Amino acid sequence: MKNKFDLIIFDWDGTLIDSIDWIVHCLQTAGQQCGCAIPEPQAAKDVIGLSITNACAKLFPDVDQPTLPRLTASYQQTYLSRQLSREDLFPGVYQMLVELKQSGYQLAVATGKTRTGLQEALQATGTEDLFSITRCSDETASKPDPLMLHQIMQHTNTANERSLMVGDSTHDLQMAMNAQISAIAVSCGAHPEDILQQYNPLICLQQPAELLNIIRG
């Protein structure tokens, strides 16, 4: 895939940072605090990547309208109670991002996180300066709507065929399909390889840092 792409767009949670189990815990805690049935771990994983409002609405479909903002607030309070660091990135991710940037790739993030949540994570991991642009679900349409990818490509002046999405969930891969760009899956996050392969990624990696050799090759 050497010289095939100019722009690499990464999902954040479960793709660059090892946070899936923590997000599951936060979603389960929100349900418990708001008197809802506590979701099973895989059910919680299945909504990761959506905006938090859409995720809670899908995970807790029977809640009334006043409860939904309570769920999202509870989730955010619990999630932000944990201090992140660069050690939370998957092994080799920071160096991979540095090398890709030094090699001339434009890097971006397309995430279901809020801007507040992503900014804290970028600062805590020291990765903010590595990305040309980041887009969050409270600034644009939630995945799998392709709008955030279109906005990233427009900002970086990159054509669809020169853009690559890297993600760990079906929402990431469906968004890439909707935007008509190529995608690579990683199986270390929300969904296993057999599920991700149904969305026809170019390849499915076990760990994100493996991307460096794929891109170089």
Q: What is the pLDDT of residue 3?
A: 84
Region 129-151: mean pLDDT is: 96
Q: What is the pLDDT of residue 2?
A: 75
pLDDT tens-digit series, residues 93-131: 999 999 999 999 999 999 999 999 999 999 999 999 999
Residue 212 CA to residue 34 CA, distance in Å, equals 43
Band (216; pLDDT cuts 50, 70, 90): confident
pTM of the model: 0.94
Q: Is the pLDDT of residue 1 over 90?
A: no
- Please name each of the domains of the chain with its CATH number: 7-19+85-216 (3.40.50.1000), 20-79 (no CATH)
Q: Is the pLDDT of residue 190 over 90?
A: yes
Query: HEC profile for the chain?
Result: CCCCCCEEEECCECCCECCHHHHHHHHHHHHHHCCCCCCCHHHHHHHECECHHHHHHHHCCCCCCCHHHHHHHHHHHHHCCCCCCHHHECCCHHHHHHHHHHCCCEEEEEECCCHHHHHHHHHHHCCHHHCCEEEECCCCCCCCCCHHHHHHHHHHCCCHHHEEEEECCHHHHHHHHHHCCEEEEECCCCCCHHHHHHHCCCCEECCHHHHHHHHHC
pLDDT tens-digit series, residues 40-57: 999 999 999 999 999 999
**Average pLDDT score, the chain:** 95
